[in-house]
Amino acid sequence: MTTIKICGLTNLDDAQCALTAGADMLGFIFFPKSPRYVAPASARAILAGLGSARARVTTVGVFVNMPPPLIVDILDQSGLDMAQLSGDEPVSDLTALAGRAYKVVRSVDQARLYLRVKPIPDPIPLHPDLLLDADHPTLYGGSGLRADDSVASIVARQCRLLLAGGLTPENVAAAVLSARPWGVDVASGVEAAPGKKDHDKIKRFISAVRQADASSA
């Protein structure tokens, strides 16, 4: 079954909607320039508000070009499980965060570089090896642009790939059936405005993924 990550969460209502609708991963962005930025204390409060249901999901902090010791500190402060490295981080940063991070890539060459330091696969995989996003000249995500389908298909055959980039309730089923990724990631595609989710879009997105799963079973 395809893993579903709802990213760019900024408030408890949206996080509760994502969890109730069936999301497997919840993402919080710690990049101050993002319109979806949240402070670590806010993320921690959101997770606390989810109560015991929080245990049903893997939680992810999104970072851009931040030193590994600071990433670990923020993960610990906020109570999140994993770090997503969305910037221009060197391979050594991923190695330093072994077991607690995965890398965003935007090309096959980048994917191959980071797959060289891929840890031993978990018996029960809880997180991706890589996330593939659209290649934007200035943004580190949330651009709404589609990732390259041909790149997605190649990388998805080599690792647990979380596919992002311009996914919406209308196109995610086709993306799942075409690339066969380990999971899909959405932020802007289920928003009413930057940082505020559209709950109907979240439900339709998750439903579309599950329908695609059922049709390919």
Catalytic residues: 7, 133
Where residue 199 falls (left for φ over 0; alpha for ψ -120 to 50; beta otherwise) is alpha
Q: How far apart are the first and last CA of the chain?
A: 9
SS in 3 state form for the chain?
A: CCEEEECCCCCHHHHHHHHHHCCCEEEEECCCCCCCECCHHHHHHHHHHCHHHHHHCEEEEEECCCCHHHHHHHHHHHCCCEEEECCCCCHHHHHHCCCCEEEEECCHHHHHHHHCCCCCCCCCCCCCCEEECCCCCCCCCCCCCCCCHHHHHHHHCCCCEEECCCCCCCCHHHHHHHHCCCEEEECHHHEEECCEECHHHHHHHHHHHHHHHHHCC
User: What are phi and psi for residue 161, nearest 5 degrees?
Assistant: -105, 130
